[in-house]
A and B are shown apart, each in its own frame.
Chain A
Amino acid sequence: MSAQKPAVSKLEAEAIAVSRDPVLAHMLAEEKVEVAGRDLQLLKRLLGYLRPHLLLASVCVFMAVIEALAMTIPPYIVGLAMDRASGVTGRTPRGFDHLLDAIGEVALSAVDRVPTDTAALITYFGVMSLLFWLLRFGVAVATSYWVQKLSQLILHDLRVDIFAHITSMDMGFFHKNPVGRLVNRTTFDVASLSELFSDAFAQGMRDILFVLVLYSVMFTIDPLLGTMLLLVVPALVLISRLYQRMVRPALRANSAVVSRMNGWLAENLAGMRENQLYRREPRRAAEYRSLTEAHQTAQVGMVRPWAWVRPAMMLTSSLATAAVLWLGYQRVLEGIITVGVLLTFIQYTARLWVPIRNLTEKFNLVQQSLTSGERIMEILDEKVGMNDGPSEGAVTVAPSRGEVRFEAVRFRYAGREEEVLKGITFTAQVGQMVALVGDTGAGKSTVAHLISRFYDVSGGEVLVDGVDVRQYRLNALRSSIAIVPQDVVVFAGSVRDNITLGRAVDDATVWKCVEAVSARAIVERLGGLDGSLDEGGRTLSTGERQLLSFARALVGNPPVLILDEATANVDTSTEMVIQEALRNLTRGRTTIAIAHRLSTIREADEILVLGHGAVLERGRHEQLLDDNGAYAKLYRTHLAGSGEAS
């Protein structure tokens, strides 16, 4: 199936042409829903989420049947009443006749009065009809609510699953998928699925049940008329299918254009300064105008099919009414049915198209939801990246000493030819500091990543406390390592949660750590440990965020510390505080530092100079300078022309 790519429809081509936008074509391609069979597969998987809620689900189905029955009865009562009204005799009791008679008897005996004439009897019928409407109202409200509850429960489960799945993926996955995309999968795509559940599943199930019940009732009353009306359904479904075929390209185009327009605006608001600095305003306005033209094309493509599908359906329904009237009359003449039954049928016919119209109307939503669903499944189908140690005999005890050893470690990213690390060997003894220096792309960050086992080596071994990192349970390994990255992540929430990350640590310990990294003043300014931090920690400067991140590392008291250019973004004025804090942080811990600052490097027990994935030189600062090799050159490039001798 994949050999033949779906051709771009005329409408989509037109939309791309008027927009003159390269990104839009790209996005349209992404909107393409692939093989039709996948919809079923998707539904099957989603239905799997029903399993924990089977009881609620069966209650919903049961209630929906009751609701459909309750809705079928009032037109029946009208017919029955009419027969009584026109004094028709010879009505063969069928369908709900017995039920209604029984209810009538109970009701009449309850008021303890026998109706004196037909007119009064019909009034009772009216009251009975009202009661059934009331019953139907109650049942419908309950059904609706339970169905909504069921869908929301499923969506909640789905969201939690996706989140858990994504947060267990390895770094390669996060490399491949930008954060924005993953966020959309977790929230917006699930929200879009919510339409599928509450409209397509919930309403659709009730609509279909209603049609089924209606047909069953019609068959019991008059099989021939019922059979004839069966023809209406294929006609309506055919119209609905035709509509879907016509509108699908427009829907796809529209969804792509809308997200492109939103993306365009978000981007140009963010880059407004650049637009103005570079006088792009007229050009941007023209770009946007082209997008709105493409949008209009898509909208027209959506309106036109809709403008005929609805009349076509209503007309089919009228045709059916006319046919029932005509055929029914013949049946009445033959004495097979009464006028009342015919009236009931006419009312049923008028109702028959409503559920099918509903389903057609929801088509747009369902289409979008299915696309969202597929995207979600795509993510859920990705295998969890990192195995959690060997299935048997994994080390569950966290390494406590903190010796880190690399044995001829080689590494290449999945699917890449080129090796990032080409046989790195070194040992950081307990409590030592090893500094990694070298140009961008030399492999420094990769070394750091391998210790926490964000990736697995492609050759050699990484050992912590003498045990290969692949032998540990991930949790055990990682709880012994603290990473301090260059860009500090601040989570919205309390200061305490940001430092402890939810670990059970008492406040005294947290304060001790905060003090050790000279962050007391900051925490106090924020309102203590209960003070709140907003998204991204916007109220903090880079240096302040960094200090909090130090406290976060310290609170777990890990034997191994990884500093990934931890101080690169800090300006000279905050430098002193940070240096002091850093000394407290690294004391007594094995530290692997991807270093930036000379002050850090100078204190290192060993410096590894990396170049193209290999160790070019190793040794202490003075020693390396004396060697006058790569390190010395690196050192001098920075000092060249500064007018100062080293």
Chain B
Amino acid sequence: MSFWSDVPRVVRLLKGERANYGLGLLALWVVNFSDVMAPLFLAVAVDLMASSLGGAPPKLPAIMGYVGLTPAQFNLETAIACFFGLQLTANIARYPMLVMTSIPSHRVGQRVRNELVGRLLSLSRGFFDRSKSGDLMALQTNDIIAVRMMLGPGILVGVDTLMLVSLVIVVMFALSWKLALLALIPMPLIAIVTNKLSHAEYQRSEAVQNDIGRLTEQVRESYAGIRILQGYAREGYDRERFRLASFRHYGKSLDLGRVRSVFDPALDFFLGSSTSIVLAVGGPAVVRGEMSLGSFTAFLFLINFLSGPMVGFGWAVSLWQRGRASLKRLDKVMSEQPEVGDVEGAIALDGTVAIEVRGLTFGYAARGAAEIGTEEREVAVAAPEQAAALDGVSFVLAPGKLLGVTGRVGSGKSTLAMLLTRIYEPPAGTIFVNGRDVRDYTLSSLRRSIVVAPQDTFLFSDTIENNLLMGLDAETAGGSDSRASEAARLAGLASLAEEIEELPKRYGTLLGERGVNLSGGQRQRLAIARAIGADPRMLVLDDCLSAVDARTEARILEQLRTVFEGRSGIIISHRVRALEQCDEILVLEAGRVIERGTHAALLAQGGHYAEIAHEQTKEAVSE
């Protein structure tokens, strides 16, 4: 992979900011030019001083003679004033130099961030099953920053190095080309060593970062399991375990420290050797009168100018290496296409919903099910070789009717819900909505009409109200009053209102890490309320009552009767009580329908369903 092949990609990134970069680099030139010229006037001042003390008459560095400057034009005061004036110019120009490159680079970074998140939001479930969320997080936390660093300091320092080094070298050669050659000997070494060391530093700091990850996971386990550790009086053992892990981390950090402790001293040493060379070779030249004391002083200052760019060059190179690698990773995700999307000429789904499923067979891509929910996760583990999650399932659901689905853990119940809303794409010609293949509808209208309250739902760390009203469209959201009353209505339907009223900030209570943690039953009820709030034509409840206690369950089931009026619905549950009111019940086993019928009919049949029903009446007294 060549560096130059990536340049056009980087230039494309800078679209819209090129003018700013141009100005910034122009300012950089002013900075460098003034910086490099300033020591020449220092040289003049020292020479004037030396000659006034009876030394040789002042001799202007040759380079100044080229532009028509003569010693007679200067006295000590004007030389010092020129020196300071140039420094002033340089430092004034530094401001636009930094601002005009840094702020645009941040702006580009933000743009890339937004593009990345926009892409992630559009990608399908399959992509997320394949990717680790840690890797996706790293794109934001590491890769975008690496790209930003490449575009900011990477460009600035890179250009600075080339510009300043060439200027310094020109001036040094003009002063004394022999001494310049000698003084520059250690310089390439600096660039090489910096690059090598920053490479090692990067790798070791990666190792430290990874180790922090391991350490964090261990600590998380211990704190999450504190009741067991304390309950079994095993804290001492766990502290020892942690001490060992912490010591391992100490070792890794020290590995990094070892590289860091060589870094700066090595650079100083190379510069020091340059200075020493100037002294050992330039000093005698001054004695012999081949060089003025001023030029000698200028040399010492110019060498110090090189330190910045030399360090910077190694740094810039590693910034570019990292930035390009990160850009590749970002581009890879940016080029992902959603697997589920609107086909050409997709139509909007409107009005009542009738479903027909014909011979639906579906299997997840290898290990694909891992993310769906606890249910399928167990399947994926128990049967690592790819098994069909659904196998020849057929049914018809007329508008306004209610279908019940039950079956063991991993029998394919949740898969059905995910296929209906095309979270996963069903095979063509298997699911029909109002007589048309479900794949012919626009995703947004389909998901507007069919809403799933998933098993094990996700709550956002936002207010309860916002979590409840997640299904509301922005246009219909209305004012804060109507939002509040809608939230209360939904909570009431899911028998959640009383508990919310007891919270200190009621519907404004934050959920999640920074707020309140809801119990499993409360989460499930919130999921139901959220789904009802979307006011869909068809409501799918995926095992949403399993953690709710018996009395509340009964109350919710009662209230759901009114909710389901005029809507089609699917209730997925392994509790018989939740299924009683359904017009038809399917019993799934390993993806196949093994029994179907009404509650009464199935009980009479005396099969699997009747068996579960019998078991459940015996079980579960409390909660």
Contact = CB atoms under 8 A, between A and B. Distances in A.
A103 B329 CA distance: 58
A492 B280 contact: no
Nearest to A185: B219
A285 B269 CA distance: 51
B447 A277 contact: yes
A279 B444 contact: yes
A262 B230 contact: no
A478 interface: yes
Interface residues of B, number: 165
Given A322-B80, A339-B293, A640-B554, A492 B218 contact: yes
B403 to A, nearest CB: 19
Contacts of A502: 234, 237-238, 240-241
Contacts of A426: none
A611 B286 CA distance: 100
B74 to A, nearest CB: 13
A109 B120 CA distance: 75
A341 B44 CA distance: 18
Contacts of B220: 179-180, 183
A179 B224 contact: yes
Contacts of B147: none
Nearest to B111: A292
Contact of A311 (B91, B265, B451, B517): B91
B114 interface: yes
Interface stretch (B4-12, B297-305, B317-325): B297-305
A639 B514 contact: no
B534 A278 contact: yes
B331 interface: no
Contacts of A171: 227
B551 A86 contact: no
Interface residues of A, number: 172
A393 to B, nearest CB: 20
A78 B381 CA distance: 74
Q: Of B38, B84, B288, B423, which is in contact with the most chain A CB atoms at under 10 Å from its CB?
A: B84
Interface stretch (A234-242, A312-320, A359-367, A401-409): A312-320
B306 interface: no
Contacts of B387: none
A62 interface: no
A532 interface: no
A266 B519 CA distance: 21
Nearest to B237: A502
A642 B616 contact: yes
A299 B224 contact: no
A188 B220 CA distance: 12
Contact of B239 (A164, A304, A646): A164
Given A126-B280, A136-B268, A339-B50, A641 B409 contact: no
B254 A152 contact: yes
Nearest to A475: B233
Nearest to A497: B241
Interface stretch (A40-48, A92-100, A114-122, A218-226): A114-122
Contacts of A136: 265, 268-269, 272
Interface in A248-305: 261-263, 265-281, 283-285, 288-289, 292-293, 295-296, 299-300, 303-304
Contacts of B137: 262, 265-266, 269
Nearest to A271: B458
Interface string B71-85: 000001100100110
Interface in B86-122: 87-88, 90-92, 94-95, 98-99, 102-103, 106-107, 110, 113-114, 117-118, 120-122
B266 to A, nearest CB: 7
B225 interface: yes
A635 interface: yes
B621 interface: yes
B226 interface: yes
A503 B237 contact: yes
Nearest to B549: A440
A188 B235 contact: no
B198 to A, nearest CB: 16
A491 to B, nearest CB: 5
Interface in B300-337: 300-301, 304
B448 interface: yes
Given A178-B513, A329-B49, A572-B615, A122 B265 contact: no
B408 interface: yes
B551 A311 contact: no
Contacts of B577: 641-642
Nearest to B251: A152
B159 interface: no
B138 to A, nearest CB: 11
Contacts of A482: 231-232
Contacts of A270: 133, 458
A427 to B, nearest CB: 21
B283 A303 contact: no
Contacts, number: 463
A413 interface: no
Interface in A1-47: 22-23, 26-27
A454 B227 contact: yes
Given A126-B277, A126-B280, A284-B121, A183 B114 contact: no
Contacts of A113: none
Interface stretch (A155-163, A509-517, A580-588): A155-163
B250 A156 contact: yes
A594 to B, nearest CB: 8
Contacts of A194: 253
A278 B451 contact: yes
B128 A78 contact: no
A283 B238 CA distance: 45
B385 interface: no
A156 B114 CA distance: 39
Contact of B461 (A198, A263, A306, A485): A263
Interface in A127-181: 127, 129-130, 132-134, 136-137, 140-141, 143-145, 147-149, 151-153, 155-156, 159-160, 163-164, 166-168, 171, 174, 178-181
Nearest to B107: A296
Contact of A77 (B136, B279, B457, B512): B279
Given A82-B283, A273-B454, A492 B272 contact: no
Given A329-B49, A571-B574, A119 B284 contact: yes
Contacts of A269: 120, 128, 133, 136-137
Interface in B248-279: 249-250, 253-254, 257-258, 260-262, 264-266, 268-269, 272-273, 275-279
B114 A339 contact: no
Nearest to B119: A285
Contact of A285 (B117, B217, B296): B117
Contacts of B262: 141, 144
B463 interface: yes
B67 interface: no
Nearest to B253: A152
A618 to B, nearest CB: 14
Contacts of A541: 378, 381-382
Interface string B432-468: 0000000000001001100110100111111100000
A133 B50 contact: no
A635 B46 CA distance: 103
A281 B227 CA distance: 39
Nearest to B304: A350
B188 interface: no
B45 interface: yes
A303 B87 contact: no
Interface in A578-601: 595-599, 601
5 contacts: A85-B284, A159-B242, A439-B623, A483-B231, A635-B621
Minimum-distance CB pairs A-B, first 3: A126-B280, A144-B261, A148-B257
Given A144-B257, A315-B87, A596-B620, 11 more contacts: A82-B296, A126-B281, A144-B265, A148-B257, A268-B117, A270-B133, A288-B113, A308-B95, A310-B94, A322-B80, A326-B80
